[in-house]
Amino acid sequence: MTKAYGGSGVGRRSVLRGSLAAAGAAALPPLAGATPAQALPARSLSAPAQLLSGRPSADWGVQAGDVTASSGLVWVRSDRPARMVVETSATESFRNVRRWTGPVVGPGTDFTGRTALRGLPAGERVHYRVVLADPDDPRRTSRPVYGSFRTASTRREDVRFLWSGDLAGQGWGINPDRGGYRIFEHMRRLDPDFFLCSGDNIYADNPIAATVALPGGGTWRNITTEEKSKVAETLAEFRGAFRYNLLDTNLRRFNAQVPTVVQWDDHEVHNNWYPGQLLDDARYTEKRADVLSARSLKAFSEYFPLSTLTPDADGRVYRVLRHGPLLDVFVLDMRTYRNANSPNRRPDDAQGILGERQLRWLKRELSRSRAVWKVIASDMPLGLVVTDGPVNFEAVAQGDPGAPLGRELQIAELLRHVKHHRITGTVWLTADVHYTSAQHYAPERAAFKDFAPFWEFVSGPLNAGGFPAVKLDGTFGPEQPFVKAPATANVPPGQDSQFFGEVAIDGDSGELTVRLRSETGGVLFTKVLQPGRVGQ
């Protein structure tokens, strides 16, 4: 059954009548570089400040995540200890509501909270609003913050989602002169079912300065904060780095409308980090990557609605999201379980880039999947040669076009499993390299031939420096029919250097269409894939 996106979008957008004030209403300290249009709106947009004096407030908006056919997870941040209460309704008027009592948020989670919504109707728009109540006086409540999302359908209906990655990188932060993170507004207007963020949600190792000299002259201005003025080392600094992005009006509006499927990568901690690494970086007093990554992961778990990571408890980023009969999304973690970056030419490598346990999980879940399309959300590309210094390599490939070596061995094992178990409909999506491209992998062009052909699509960055294209590795036989990348390194946003991708699955035919888009939404490349067809 086909879903009319144009019709559903009207209701979802109109719920923002409250979110312009509520998704980011605040009376925060002044921000360096902020203009009135870009700074968080004042409380006076919806109520006199004196009426809310002493009441909690949700200045940072709302988010929804890990949405399935019957459930979702709603996030909020308070300015003080408060009880999180969520109300849901089938209509914007909230005439008939269902109430969900969430946790009391406090300093242990940086005043963030998440509430799981279960038993939701499949394939329906869910309108929600979050209220924060004073735990000592429940009558003292915040102004409600509004959002909405559509649950996955249990029937064959259209599915459409976007993906990209890399936000606030290379010192390019929220620039009030260009309206902040404009790409999120262009993505919001496409009204997707969800957004897949492929990692590098923050650049913990990239401080944000008030101004940056532009290549060729001129000045880029940033909104700045104390936490983002240096590299993140403490838990407070990591929390501040995640919070920084929520100063952007476009992102808060986007979050209130579009659920997110989030994964993480190196810049959540430090460029090209791996477990056990000792940093060689004079900016850091804490050199142990394991200590820094643990702090970042805690902040990450606090600032995103992610069901497999619970603050102050064990959990994992890798998971599978079931989105009806047409789509399963397999979210990988190529950062936490990898071995050390190296020349990547070992003849045996069990740990690889995924670790043994995650690889077993992925093979098992792919075999169990009955979805028409199995999207593998990878935080790093497969056949693009991403280096780490003069002799080491950061991703899977190492530039040797011969038989699989090093981390390639694990990918070869996975691809062999997909072929021998006749798993159809696998598509790889990634970001990381700061440009956009499409790669088709085929055994007839490859040194390793025991796999079925497949596609990999790359997009990004969201708001970071654009970089030239890297080389292809011939081990899995990639061919690149499309690539768009800057000719020079670290091209700032706004110079045809920011990208996102779109995946649309037709509910009737099952046909999957990938569109690679520019920052403003212009279509750069389109590929249509047919369900069940091998070698396309």
Q: Are strands 98-105 and 137-141 parallel, antiparallel or unpaired?
A: unpaired
Residue 106 phi, psi dihedral angles, 5° rounding: -155, -165
Q: How many helices and strands in the chain, by DSSP H and E?
A: 8, 25
Strand partners, 455: 427, 440
pLDDT digits (tens, 9 = 90+) for 106-165: 999 999 999 999 999 999 999 999 999 999 998 899 999 999 999 999 999 999 999 999
DSSP SS3 for 191: coil
Q: Where does 164-208 have alpha helices with state H?
A: 182-189
Output the tens digit of pLDDT for each of the chain's 536 residues: 444 333 333 333 333 333 333 333 333 333 334 333 333 433 322 333 334 458 999 999 999 999 999 999 999 999 999 999 999 999 999 989 999 999 999 999 999 999 999 999 999 999 999 999 999 998 899 999 999 999 999 999 999 999 999 999 999 999 999 999 999 999 999 999 999 999 999 999 999 999 999 988 999 999 999 999 999 999 999 999 999 999 999 999 999 999 999 999 999 999 999 999 999 999 999 999 999 999 999 999 999 999 887 655 568 999 999 999 999 999 999 999 999 999 999 999 999 999 999 999 999 999 999 999 999 999 999 999 999 999 999 999 999 999 999 999 999 999 999 999 999 999 999 999 999 999 999 999 999 999 999 999 999 999 999 999 999 999 999 999 999 999 999 999 999 999 999 999 999 999 999 999 999 999 999 999 999 876 67
SS3 content of the chain, % helix, strand, coil (to 5): 20, 25, 50
Torsional sign, CA 343, 344, 345, 347: positive
DSSP at 422: T
Largest interatomic CA distance in the chain: 71
Q: What angle do CA 512, 517, 518 make, to 5 degrees?
A: 175
Q: How far apart are CA 486 and CA 433, in angstroms?
A: 11
Q: Are 44 and 78 in contact (CB under 8 A)?
A: no
- Cβ-based neighbours of 377, under 8 Å, separated by 6 or more: 163, 196, 198, 261, 263, 329, 330, 331, 332, 429, 430
Q: How far apart are CA 127 and CA 180, in angstroms?
A: 27
Please state the three-class secondary structure of 313-380 as a single string.
Answer: CCCCCCEEEECCCCEEEEECCCCCCCCCCECCCCCCCCCCCCCHHHHHHHHHHHHHCCCCEEEEECCC
